[in-house]
Structure 1
Amino acid sequence: MLRRAGVVGDPAGHSLSPAIHRAGYAAHGLDWVYDAHTVPAEGLDDFVRGCAADPAWAGLSVTAPHKDAILAHGDPDEPTRLLGAGNTLIFGPTPRVYNTDVPGFVRAWRAHRLADIRSAAVVGNGATARSILLALAGLGLRDLVVLARVPQRAEALLELAAVLGVVAEARGLEEPLLAVDLVANTVPAAATAPHATRLAAAAGVVFDVVYDPWPTPLARAADAAGTPALNGLDLLAGQAVDQFFLMTGHQVTFEGCRSAAEQELSRRSRL
């Protein structure tokens, strides 16, 4: 039987996940189909139910804005329940929801042979920020500054930090920042552009969730400061390793996933 998987989001057409998963299928000789599906919030329930009713479907990769809502469609594992957000739905007698962004960030960090983290500043307070916080806690994080345009909206992230034993505070994005091991940006590049030089100067390492277009203003500032920079391709490739295994039972590598994503970006740039 032909098996199916895909990525669901709004929009989803820009996603590099099809290129990554299809490369994995080719490497393992799997007769699988993986497509991108743009589904608005009001259509998510019907779309997921339709997939679940078809035994050909193995699972879904889940991107914005559905990472919170997808928890209603399966039994979340403990990290996903803690975060209140998932990025992987696996169909079956008991559908399950996972968040592979968490181990994916750790995998990307280790792939670059970077040291454990004691202090960090995270820009933003959404689902990706929560996932990165949980990943950082596993890498030894002790102190966190949440930078937000409206610091009062970071309350949920501060509560998660407290659960994880991380000392955290929220500040305005424009406020001064002391030196930290990592500055992680989870918001659109335009929001950090006016602050890029200052943020990069405070960072031992920069991570920007954006990967296209690259470099972002924050990445350019990091390069000028001689600061290592990771981008969204690192997270995308890292999370795909576990996601591919959950869907297929086969292993892929971080390097293979990142290469597939880079090749697809290069192909698109020539169109």
Structure 2
Amino acid sequence: MTGRYAEVIGDPIAHSKSPLIHNFWLEKLGIDAAYRATRVPPEGLGRYFTERGEDPNWCGCNVTIPHKIAALEHVSDPGGIRESIGAINTVARGPGGGLFGTNTDAAGFLGPILDVPLEGAPVILVGSGGAANAILFALAQVGAGPITMLARNALKAAGLLARFGLKGEVKPLASSLPPAALLINASPLGMKGQPLLQLDLSPLPDNAIVYDIVYAPLETALLRAARDRGLETVDGLEMLVGQAALAFELFFDVPPPEGYDEELRAKLVQ
């Protein structure tokens, strides 16, 4: 590829809508650059960052499953993300040309629910991977809790609660849900090619919000079940676009264009 470019890396990666978002903004701004999706297997992560670090046209990358924690080993961490969130989703070039990692997931997650009173509110979180790190960090910032985590790895999930100073408990994925103000799926379950996330939502109160960060498909079984119950929902595009906007400015030195949100969403749901 010639000319400036950025990309999203993961394994798998074909489902990613990030290229559509970033290329939409680049076209609207008339910027001569491109954004693509690149599959990087876990064993190739170190080589990837070495090669991209030597490419003057490379502006940075978004990082998705399964690399959000492992990528910290290959870039600098000037913002102390390792100690705070513990996972990155964005890598860009610093002023000296070196690569640094940061995390735009936490702000992207909170954006759609900023007006929801979460202080002292019980929350259910499914998953304990890199996205869960950022979400728990965000929940701690707004004083949410107690947190009930549904996770395959109970020890890892309990460690995350302790890391962020959050009160709560860890249960197996198949456990019945406690009442909660907010249910979040931060796992790959429900994503195209993954098993469905099937939960009995009946214990949730009528004013609960169900937030699924999966965006391929956009209408997950979890969100469909929540809507059938008349619950408010937040889909994965909300967080995806929010975190992408912060990353875009790091890559291309300008914020995304304003006034095109509805046009962009229409393209994303096609």
Q: Does 1:131 align with 2:140?
A: no
Post-superposition offset of 1:139: 2.5
Q: Counterpart in 1 of 2:250?
A: 246
Quote the residue 2:99 is aligned against. 95
Change (3 A) 1:62 1:74: same
Equivalent residue for 2:208, pick from 184, 189, 204: 204
What do you get for the CA RMSD once the two structures are aligned? 2.4
Count matched residues: 260
* TM-score, length-scaled by structure 2: 0.87
1:32-63 deviations in Å (ceiling 9; x for gaps): 11111111111121122111101111111111
Higher helix content, 1 or 2: 1
Report the equivalent of 1:269. none
Residue 2 of structure 1 deviates from its aligned partner by: 2.9
Structure 2 residue aligned with 1:225: 229
TM-score normalised by length of structure 1: 0.86
CA distance 1:44–1:150, change in 2 (3 Å): closer
Counterpart-to-counterpart distance in 1, 2:116 and 2:232: 10
Distance 1:91 1:219 in 2: 37
- Equivalent-residue separation in structure 1 for 2:210 and 2:61 (angstroms): 30
Separation of aligned partners in 2, 1:203 and 1:151: 29
Q: Give yes or no for the alignment of 1:192 onto 2:207.
A: no
Q: Which residue of 1 aligns with 2:33?
A: 32
Structure 1 residues 214, 7: closer, same or farther in 2, change over 3 A?
Answer: closer
Aligned equivalents of 2:173, 2:92: Cα separation in 1:
37
Residues 255 and 171 of structure 1, relative CA distance in 2, 3 Å threshold:
farther
Asked if the contact 2:108–2:240 (Cα under 8 Å) also holds between the matched residues in 1, the reply is yes
CA contact (8 A) 1:143 1:168 kept: yes
Residues 8, 254 of structure 1: alpha-carbon distance in 2 compared, 3 angstrom cutoff? farther
- Match of 1:10? 11
Structure 2: gaps spanning 5 or more residues: none
Amino acid at match of 2:168: A
Summarize the alignment of residues 158-197 of structure 1 with structure 2, pairs less than 5 Å apart.
Answer: 158-162=161-165, 166-187=166-187, 188-189=189-190, 190-193=195-198, 195-197=199-201
- In 2, Cα distance between the equivalents of 1:159 and 1:235? 25
Pair 259,10 (structure 1): closer, same or farther in 2 beyond 3 Å: farther
- Find the residue that maps to 1:192 and give its secondary structure: coil
* TM-aligned CA distance change 1:251 to 1:204, over 3 Å: same
Query: Matched residue of 2:137: which SS?
Result: helix
Structure 1 pair 38–106 and aligned structure 2 pair: CA distance change class (3 A)? same
Residue 255 to residue 39, structure 1, CA distance change in 2 (3 Å): farther
Query: How far apart in 2 are the matches of 1:80 and 1:24?
Result: 30
Percent identity over the alignment is 32
